[in-house]
Amino acid sequence: MANIAVIGTNYVGLVTAACFAELGNQVVGVDIDPGKVERLGRGQLPIYEPGLEEIVVQNLKAGRLRFTLDYNEGLKKAEFAFVCVGTPSGVEGEADTSQVKSAAHSLGQYTPAKRSLIVVNKSTMPIGTGEWMLQALGRASNGSGATFQVVSNPEFLREGSAVDDFRHPDRVVLGGTDPEAIERVASLYRDLQPEPPIIRTDIPSAEMIKYASNAFLATKISFINEIASICERLGDRRISPEYLEAGVGYGGSCFPKDVKALAHMASMAGAHPQLLRAVMEINRDMRRLVLQKVRAELGNLEERTICVLGLAFKPNTDDLREAPAIEIIHLLQSEGARVKAYDPAANEAAREMLPGVELCSDAYSVAEGADALLLLTPWSEFRRLDLPRVAHSMRYPLVVDGRNLYDPTDMVERGFKYRAIGRPVPEAVGAPLAPPAPTVEPVLTR
Ligand code: NAD
C-alpha cells in the first residue's frame, strides 16, 4: 500500500483522495482553503457528489484519510503527489495555470530532502505543462537532494457519477518519461477490480488526449444541436434528433474551458481552429434559443414570471460552473423577467451567484404563478412530477423543455403549451391558448 498526497481537494481531488484511501492506501489531502480543510476533517463535504460522503467518513474513521493545510505534513511520507488543483479559463480563453504553478512550487519546496517523489498531474493542463513542471520542481527544491518524476494522468471522471467513474474507468492514461515511474502509478490503479485498461504514452500526448477528448465530446453536442435546430424548422421526423440528446448545450467545469483553452493554444501556435470556434458559437446560440422560444409565446418578457427547473450543469451535482441555467437566467433578468428557480442540490450554491432570483424548495412552489416553466437540468425527480399539479399552479402553462425530458403528445394532452429542442411544435388540443397580460405585483425574493 502506498503513501499518497492529493493536492487540491474539491471535485477531482476529493474523489481521488477518498477512493485511493478506500483501496487501502494512506492518503493526505492538501488544500489551501482553511474552511474546506477544517470541514473535511469533520467529514463535511464542500461539494455534492453521490456516494462520496460515506467513503470520506469511513476512511477518516479508519485512519487512512486525513486533510491538512500544511504541505510539510502532507508530504512527510508521500511517494506520490496527485495534483488536482483548478485550471479555470483566463481572460483570453487560455487555461489559467496559476494554481498549478503555485502547487508545483510548494511540492518542490516541501518534499523532504533526498526523497524521491512521483508527481501525478490529474488537473487538465496545457500541452507542455508537465515538462515545465519537471524543471520547476527541481528549481523549487533548491538543492535539497529531493528527486522528482512527473506522470501525466488526465482525469476523465464525470461529476454526478464520479465515484463510479473512479472505480470503473474506461481507461487510465499515463504519460511520462520514466517507465518505472509510469509502472508505479499503474500499480496503484491495478488495485481496481476489474483492472482498467492502461494507456502508456509521453507527457504531451497524455495532456493532448484530455483536450482532444473534451473537444470531441463538445463537438458532438454542438453538432447534434445544430442538426436539431435544422430539423425543428424542417420538421423532418426521419432524421429526428430525438435520440441524439439535443438540448440547451454543454456546460460545467470542463467542456467550456477546455474547448476554449484548446482553441487558444491552437491560435497561439498559428493554427485556425474553425471547427472549435463553431462548436462554441453553436453552444452559445442554444442558450439564446430558449429565450426565443419563450418570447415567441409571451412577447416582451417584462413583468413576466419565469420559473426554472434545474440549475446545476447536469443532474446529481451541485456544480454551477458555466451551467446553461445561469446564463439563461441572466438573459431573462436583463429582459425584465422575474425569475424563480429550484434545483435539488444547487440551491445553496446559487444563492450568491443569482441575486434577485427567488429560490424555491420544490418544483411545485417554483411553478406557482409562472408564465413559463423552463426545464434546464434533467434531474430524475423532474421525470416523476405530478404534471397536472404543475399545470394547475402555473398562470400560463408554457413549458420549454430544454432537455427533451417529456413526451410532446403527453404534455399537450395535459394542457401544456409544450416547446422542446429540435422537436416540431406538437398539434394543440382543444381551444387555442393565449397568454394573459403580464402581472404587475412584485415577487418577493428570499
Ligand atoms: P476545483 O477548482 O473545484 O478545485 C480545486 C481545488 O484546489 C480547490 O479546493 C482549491 O482550494 C485547491 N487549490 C488551489 N490551489 C491550490 C494549491 N496551490 N495547493 C493546494 N490546493 C490548492 O477543480 P476541480 O473541478 O476539482 O478540477 C480540478 C482539475 O481537474 C481541473 O484542471 C479540471 O479541469 C480537471 N478535471 C475536472 C473534472 C470535473 O468534473 N470537475 C473532470 C476532469 C478533469
Residue 241 DSSP one-character state = G
Which of the four pLDDT bands, split at 50, 70 and 90, describes residue 34?
A: very high
Cα gap 55→38, rounded to integer Å:
17
Lookup: cell for 222? 454542438
Nearest to 1 by CA among 55, 64, 60, 56: 64
Distance of CA 265 to the CA centre of its chain: 22
Place of cell 508527481: 119
Beta bridge partners of 152: 121, 175
Lookup: cell for 340? 424563480
Task: Answer whether residue 437 shows pLDDT above 90.
Answer: no
Task: Answer whether residue 442 shows pLDDT above 80.
Answer: no
Element containing residue 308 per DSSP (H, E) = strand 305-309
Span from the CA of 100 to the centroid of ligand 1 (angstroms):
9
Span from the CA of 19 to the centroid of ligand 1 (angstroms):
16
Cα gap 373→293, rounded to integer Å:
11
Ligand 1 contact, 102 CB (< 6 A): yes
Span from the CA of 8 to the centroid of ligand 1 (angstroms):
6
Cα gap 268→209, rounded to integer Å:
19
Ligand 1 contact, 104 CB (< 6 A): no
Catalytic residue among 231, 254, 307, 360: 254
Ligand 1 contact, 6 CB (< 6 A): no
Cα gap 13→19, rounded to integer Å:
10
Of 70, 99, 157, 165, the one to substitute when testing ligand 1's pocket (max ligand atoms within 8 A of C-beta) is 99
> Which of 54-58, 208-212, 227-231, 391-395 is predicted with the least confidence, judged by mean pLDDT?
227-231
Establish whether 254 is a catalytic residue: yes
Half-sphere exposure (Cβ direction) of 36: Cα atoms closer than 13 Å:
16
Q: Based on C-alpha coordinates, what's the Rg of the chain?
A: 24
Ligand 1 contact, 254 CB (< 6 A): yes
Cα gap 73→152, rounded to integer Å:
24
Of 12, 127, 260, 318, the one to substitute when testing ligand 1's pocket (max ligand atoms within 8 A of C-beta) is 12
Ligand 1 contact, 83 CB (< 6 A): no
Task: Answer whether residue 441 shows pLDDT above 90.
Answer: no
Of 253, 258, 260, the one to substitute when testing ligand 1's pocket (max ligand atoms within 8 A of C-beta) is 253
Span from the CA of 315 to the centroid of ligand 1 (angstroms):
20
Nearest to 131 by CA among 110, 111, 151: 151
Span from the CA of 232 to the centroid of ligand 1 (angstroms):
39
Compute the Cα dihedral for 389, 246, 335, 253 and give only its sign.
positive
Q: What is the pLDDT of residue 414?
A: 93
Place of cell 463535504: 45
3-state DSSP assignment of residue 33: coil
Cα gap 177→18, rounded to integer Å:
28
Q: What is the pLDDT of residue 235?
A: 67
Could you count the other beta carbons within 10 Å of the beta carbon of residue 118? Answer: 24
Q: What is the pLDDT of residue 445?
A: 44
Ligand 1 contact, 9 CB (< 6 A): yes
Span from the CA of 283 to the centroid of ligand 1 (angstroms):
24
Averaged pLDDT, 55-72 = 98
Nearest to 253 by CA among 87, 121, 91, 100: 87
Task: Answer whether residue 430 shows pLDDT above 80.
Answer: no
Ligand 1 contact, 225 CB (< 6 A): no
Cα gap 234→39, rounded to integer Å:
54
Which of the four pLDDT bands, split at 50, 70 and 90, describes residue 392?
A: very high
Ligand 1 contact, 98 CB (< 6 A): no
Query: 335's torsion region: left (phi>0), alpha (psi -120 to 50) or beta?
Result: alpha
Could you count the other beta carbons within 10 Å of the beta carbon of residue 145? Answer: 11
Over residues 202-240, the pLDDT tens digits come to: 999 999 999 999 999 999 988 888 888 877 777 655 554
Query: 114's torsion region: left (phi>0), alpha (psi -120 to 50) or beta?
Result: left
Q: Which amino acid is at 371?
A: D
Averaged pLDDT, 343-368 = 96
Over residues 72-130, the pLDDT tens digits come to: 999 999 999 999 999 999 999 999 999 999 999 999 999 999 999 999 999 999 999 99
Q: For the whole model, what pTM was predicted?
A: 0.90
